[in-house]
Amino acid sequence: MTKALDRKNITASSLVISDISQEAIALAQTNIELHSLETRSEHIKSSLLTKTPKSLERSDHLIILANLPYIREDERGLMSLDTAYEPNIALY
């Protein structure tokens, strides 16, 4: 997202990555380094469903992109094998 904004000459943007999974944060950090965004990003182990990171509260302009869990726990047995590769915390 930050790189896309750069292409529109909106270079004052920054990125806050919030996830409850340390593995997801590590992957995001790898992507941050790949795109040379270390000085414009921070990562927080937190759930957007329960607690808003302080970094987001002080923003005048905010875009939230989220891939929150989207399957009810009681539907777990109904899922196709297509979801088998996804971490459970990403789905339920």
Q: Is residue 82 part of a domain?
A: no
Q: pLDDT 10s per residue in the chain (92 long)? A: 666 766 766 667 778 888 888 988 999 899 889 888 888 888 888 887 777 777 677 777 777 778 888 888 899 889 888 888 888 888 88
Q: What's the pLDDT at 81?
A: 87
Q: Is residue 41 part of a domain?
A: yes
Q: What is the pTM of this model?
A: 0.66
User: Does 35 fall in a domain?
Assistant: yes
Number of Cβ within 10 Å of residue 89's Cβ equals 13
CB 58 within 8 A of CB 74: no
Please report the pLDDT score of residue 30 as a whole number. 92
Tell me which residue has tokens 């919030």. Answer: 18
The answer to the question of residue 86 being in a domain is no
Query: What's the confidence (pLDDT) of residue 5?
Result: 65
Q: Residue 24 sits in which domain range?
A: 2-65
pLDDT score, position 26 = 92
Domain for residue 9, yes or no? yes
**Total structural domains within the chain:** 1
Q: Is residue 15 part of a domain?
A: yes
Q: Quick check: is 83 in a domain?
A: no
- The pLDDT assigned to 6 comes to 67
SS3 30: helix
- Residue 12, φ and ψ in degrees, nearest 5: -90, 10
Question: Domain for residue 87, yes or no?
Answer: no
